[in-house]
Structure 1
Amino acid sequence: MTTSPNPKNPTNPISDSPIETDGVVHVAAPSGRDEVMDAGTFTRIPEPRNTNRLPLGDGTWHQVSPKYVVVQFISGALFLALVVVAGLVLWFGFEQEWVWIPGAVAVVITLVSLIVLPRQARSIGFQLRTDDLVFRRGILWQRMVAVPYGRMQLVDITHGPLDRGFGIAQLKLVTAAAATGVTIPGLSQAAAERLRDTLIDVAETRRTGL
């Protein structure tokens, strides 16, 4: 990606070189941040065919790691196994035949969720702009939210045992308004740490007093 410094934007939140195009901050390759943020991630965000969809717009979108899909598949498989075991115990041990009705519903919902999971994971993306972070996800039910840097109150990284095993984490942004809070899943640990440090640094310069 070829970019050029913009003298009108002296503070780029994610790069040593101040670069801005149409109000969207682009990560400069010489700083190495593109390599960290985009290493081993999906490369294209699928969009619904409907013309009334939320447009992606211009700028650089960063996506999540395919390992996120693997972790979710394993979690789903473990949940299905737990449902089956619980159903067998209640059926054979306590002769509770009704247990298969909610069990079947849980199995169907989980299987449908796992089927659409890969496409849902590809729809997750975030964009670092001059004044805010834009997060989007969803194919049928789309969500796009902009989190102003100056409104961030907490940037938190969490990862469970499976996440650690596959080297991924999720980053949570907490603001004063709960509706604008964002959780970005499936980031590599290096990308999550880099993004956390970047957001903390830029939030200090954009603090709005809240």
Structure 2
Amino acid sequence: MAGTTDGSLGDVFDADGVVWTPVSQRLASARRAWLGLETVVGAVVLAIPAVLWTPWFWIGVAAVVAAFFWGWWLVGRQVRAWGYAERADDLLIRHGVMFRELVVVPYGRMQFVDVQAGPVDQLFGVAHIQLHTASAGTDARIPGLIAAEASRLRDRLASRGEARLAGL
């Protein structure tokens, strides 16, 4: 396990001299909107039996509302943890707060790049990039990119991948 001499992980998730590009905060807005919709549906489903049959279901409504506020806070932390960095030979992607992950994708291993945006993503003007490599285990994803940045990054990664693949 990589780390410092004292046994801690140190800066294993921060490469030297790398400038991380964060994802858009619109991703947090999109995820929070979806969370709000789920909360409303869950609260209504539990409030109906609370009104019609027994007040014990109000405990469930309170739990759903409490989960909404916890989820609101958690979404903000998760989105702030996402970042990517383009280097000369590879792309770095990091995410996670409690369970951190750093993915290094060499440009020469990229086979194709997908850009995806669901209805909620489109409403908030964000897209996701999915990188497909020769090994399914190293596929990587960058969510929450503004549409123009997603397009720029898709073209740049595809051209770098073709250039590195041609050099093999």
Q: TM-score normalised to the size of structure 1?
A: 0.64
Consecutive unaligned residues of structure 2, counting only runs of 5 or more, are: 1-7
| Counterpart for residue 72 of structure 1 | 31
Consecutive unaligned residues of structure 1, counting only runs of 5 or more, are: 1-49
1:169 aligned onto 2:127: yes
> Any residues of structure 2 matched to 1:1-210 within 5 Å, and which?
52=10, 54-57=12-15, 58-89=17-48, 91=49, 108-207=66-165
Aligned-residue CA RMSD in angstroms?
Answer: 3.1
* Alpha-carbon distance in 2 for matches of 1:106, 1:207: 50
Identity of aligned residues (%): 35
Q: Give 1:202's aligned amino acid.
A: R
* 1:94-146 deviation digits (Å, cap 9, x = unpaired): 96999788877666555423212222211111011122111001122110011
Shift of 1:85: 2.2
| Counterpart for residue 11 of structure 1 | none
Is the contact made by 2:83 and 2:93 (CA closer than 8 Å) also made in structure 1? yes
* Alpha-carbon distance in 2 for matches of 1:104, 1:151: 49
Query: Number of matched residues?
Result: 160
Shift of 1:153: 2.1
* Alpha-carbon distance in 2 for matches of 1:149, 1:119: 29
* Alpha-carbon distance in 1 for matches of 2:101, 2:45: 35
* Alpha-carbon distance in 2 for matches of 1:177, 1:103: 45
Is the contact made by 1:151 and 1:208 (CA closer than 8 Å) also made in structure 2? no
Change (3 A) 1:54 1:94: farther
Secondary structure of the 2:165 match is coil
Is the contact made by 2:43 and 2:64 (CA closer than 8 Å) also made in structure 1? no
Change (3 A) 1:83 1:135: same
Shift of 1:173: 0.9
Q: TM-score normalised to the size of structure 2?
A: 0.78
Is the contact made by 2:24 and 2:144 (CA closer than 8 Å) also made in structure 1? yes
